[in-house]
Homo-oligomer: A and B are copies of this chain.
Amino acid sequence: MDGEVPDFVGTVLTGTVSLTKIMPDGRIQMVAMLRPGNFLGHPYRAKSSYNAVASTSVVMCGFRRKPFERLLRKIPELGQGLLEQSSNELDAARDWMLLLGRKTAREKVASFLIIFAREKVTQDPSLMKKQIYLDLPYTRAEIGDFLGLSLETVSRQFSAFKDDSVVDPDGKRGVTVVDYPALLAETGNDADGGWLA
């Protein structure tokens, strides 16, 4: 599924939606990864030139823009929630900017994997010392678009981490994180870290 963001807004219920930017010559950069609970679209802003791509099958709760803005005016508490979410996304975008501008390919791929691994570790901290199986919602090419890398470089970094027994790729989209602390150390971040490892 692929197309212009239409004149509606909504929240993601299940699945993963990606927003991408594309240059006239076809270069692509992913600029947002929306997971369940995240909000898609800007109230009060008609045009934003993104493409929305559903990476897995997605269920959304959508509203057309105009009625939603009326609702928003009636229930100001709603706006506060949106402001918080927007601030969160802004923070995430800025971690991502550090990644894009300054991290090496190896650090980028490690950071990418940590996003998904950390999600599981947060649910069950004991996983930190075990193997963590991940089902990535992206192909190598999409991971490249996420990280600002070519798909070949992404593939090579996966292989390198496999050689170092940090990670073990399994089929197309599966990976098991063999050594979570080691992977975390490869991200180039200090311990606390933001959204992006």
Contacts and interface: CB of A to CB of B under 8 A. Distances in A.
Interface of A: 19, 21, 23-25, 27-29, 31-32, 42-45, 48-50, 72, 76, 79-80, 82-84, 86-91, 93-98, 100-103, 147-148, 188-190, 192, 194
A42 B44 CA distance: 19
24 contacts: A21-B94, A21-B97, A24-B188, A25-B188, A29-B101, A31-B98, A42-B87, A42-B91, A44-B80, A45-B87, A45-B91, A48-B91, A50-B94, A72-B80, A76-B79, A86-B90, A89-B90, A90-B93, A93-B93, A93-B94, A97-B97, A97-B100, A100-B101, A101-B147
Contacts of A42: 87, 90-91
Interface-centre pick from A83, A93, A190 (highest chain B CB count, 10 A): A83
A125 to B, nearest CB: 21
Nearest to A44: B84
A189 B101 contact: no
Contacts of A48: 91
B97 A93 contact: yes
Contacts of A43: 83, 87
Contacts of A24: 188-190
A76 B98 CA distance: 33
A84 to B, nearest CB: 5
B97 A96 contact: yes
